């Protein structure tokens, strides 16, 4: 009998569909940043490709972050949970220190790192997610047993959400709470507690809206943007005009009119409206399909990890897929007038270093989880996992 050949690195390919969807969205985003910003860049900086070049630099940094995350074993991240949580709260506190936090558009969310600005909430949310997944892996039985197991993680999430609201960052807070609840449910939280926490979270967010004048203005503009189309409803009305002009096939790359100083934040929060204007409904279907493919692969990796009895990896893949999918959905819904303005970027597409950096890290973590499962013969490349169990099943023999 011939000896079995030793396994080599080439026998464990990366998740092809995940990688292709992420790269396609990133390249599409770079093209749209160039299209959406060329006029304002020429007027403000006398360099038509100013934002496009910076976006390419950010993509390079995001690729480096993905490579670094792929090089870190999941076991090391699981053990580092408390340290990562300390780092998350350090970032959220540091940005609130006068003279350290940098204010943009009335919100203190940024830290200056030399020539770059880092939005503190982006890495902080990822670090908190890593901690929560480690907690599920360590305390899963306590989480399944009852309310006691929920106290610590919900205290952590509530404290983090409170610090986010001091910036203020309503959108990041909503995504953090929703992702945390989803991870805890996959990790073993009872359905009754899920419903209770969902109602409590929705009530808390509604209270924040009702007690804030500027959030109420956003809600009013969302309900009837045309009532004050040159005031509080200006962003949404311009976005709707852009999407409406796109029709079925769009006006063509570079042909957007709304990006010509009509649509605010055309290269960031409202880049989807410019994309819809230039590529039409067919192009929108393509972008939604790419995000759907990315999220599907994240959930497939999660199910494969759960079947392999690896709750940390299962919860992390599920949480990352939920985070990216939810943020993409919220951004598109805001652009189409289905949700009030939240100030959330479109992952991998919008201009900005912080969002690209952390999304790149998230893709790297997903690829690492898949790689480790492949190395142990517990997953197949570019196919949906056959497992139907969740992380709670992963803890049982």
Q: CA-CA distance, 336 to 330, in Å (whole number)?
A: 10
Mean pLDDT across 2-13: 48
Assess if residue 160 is contained within a domain: yes
Point out the least confidently predicted range of 33-47, 145-159, 374-388: 374-388
Mean pLDDT across 187-210: 76
Assess if residue 35 is contained within a domain: yes
Assess if residue 7 is contained within a domain: no
Assess if residue 303 is contained within a domain: yes
- Tens digits of residue pLDDT in 338-348: 888 777 899 99
Assess if residue 6 is contained within a domain: no
Assess if residue 92 is contained within a domain: yes
The per-residue pLDDT for 390 is: 45
Q: CA-CA distance, 259 to 303, in Å (whole number)?
A: 42
What does the mean pLDDT of the chain come to?
A: 84
- Enclosing domain of residue 82: 13-100+107-394
Assess if residue 80 is contained within a domain: yes
Ranked by mean pLDDT, which of 190-199, 232-241, 374-383 comes out on top?
232-241
- Tens digits of residue pLDDT in 253-278: 988 988 887 888 889 999 999 999 99
- Tens digits of residue pLDDT in 292-305: 999 999 999 999 99
Assess if residue 194 is contained within a domain: yes
> In this predicted model, which residue has the larger pLDDT, 221 or 395?
221
Domain count, the chain: 1
Check if the beta carbon of residue 160 is closer than 8 Å to that of residue 211. no
Task: Compute the Cα dihedral for 335, 339, 345, 348 and give only its sign.
Answer: negative
The per-residue pLDDT for 11 is: 54
Tokens read off for 119 = 């939005």
Q: CA-CA distance, 343 to 331, in Å (whole number)?
A: 8
Upper half-sphere CA count for residue 89 (Cβ side, 13 Å): 13
């Amino acid at each position: 009998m011939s000896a079995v050949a030793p396994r080599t690195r080439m026998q464990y390919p990366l998740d092809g569909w995940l990688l292709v969807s992420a790269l396609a969205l990133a390249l599409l985003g770079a093209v749209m940043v160039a299209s959406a910003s060329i006029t304002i860049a020429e007027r403000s900086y006398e360099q038509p490709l100013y934002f496009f070049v910076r976006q390419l630099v950010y993509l390079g940094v995001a690729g480096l972050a993905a490579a670094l995350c792929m090089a870190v074993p999941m076991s090391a991240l699981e053990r580092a949970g408390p340290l990562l949580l300390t780092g998350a709260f350090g970032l959220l506190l540091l940005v609130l220190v006068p003279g350290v936090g940098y204010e943009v558009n009335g919100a203190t969310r940024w830290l200056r790192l030399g020539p770059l600005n880092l939005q503190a909430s982006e890495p902080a949310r990822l670090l908190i997610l890593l901690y929560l997944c480690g907690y599920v892996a360590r305390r899963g039985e306590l989480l399944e047993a009852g309310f006691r197991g929920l106290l610590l993680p919900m205290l952590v999430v509530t404290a983090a959400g409170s610090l986010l609201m001091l910036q203020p960052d309503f959108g990041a807070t909503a995504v953090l709470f929703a992702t945390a609840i989803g991870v805890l449910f996959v990790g073993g939280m009872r359905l009754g507690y899920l419903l209770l926490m969902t109602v409590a979270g929705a009530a808390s967010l509604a209270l924040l809206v009702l007690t804030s004048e500027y959030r109420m203005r956003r809600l009013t503009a969302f309900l009837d943007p045309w009532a004050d189309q040159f005031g509080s409803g200006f962003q949404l009305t311009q976005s709707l005009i852009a999407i409406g002009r796109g029709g079925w096939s769009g006006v063509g790359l570079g042909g957007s009119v709304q990006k010509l100083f009509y649509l605010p934040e055309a290269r960031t929060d409202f880049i989807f409206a410019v994309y819809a204007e230039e590529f039409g409904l067919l192009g929108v279907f393509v972008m939604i399909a790419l995000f759907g493919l990315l999220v599907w692969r994240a959930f497939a990796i999660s199910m494969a990890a759960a079947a392999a009895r690896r709750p940390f990896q299962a919860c992390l893949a599920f949480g990352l897929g939920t985070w990216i999918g939810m943020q993409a959905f919220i951004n598109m819904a805001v652009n189409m007038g289905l949700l009030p303005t939240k100030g959330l970027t479109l992952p991998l597409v919008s201009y900005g270093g912080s969002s690209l950096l952390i999304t790149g890290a998230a893709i790297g973590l997903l690829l690492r989880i898949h790689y480790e499962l492949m190395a142990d013969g517990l997953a197949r490349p570019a196919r949906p996992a056959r497992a139907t169990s969740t992380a709670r099943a992963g803890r049982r023999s």
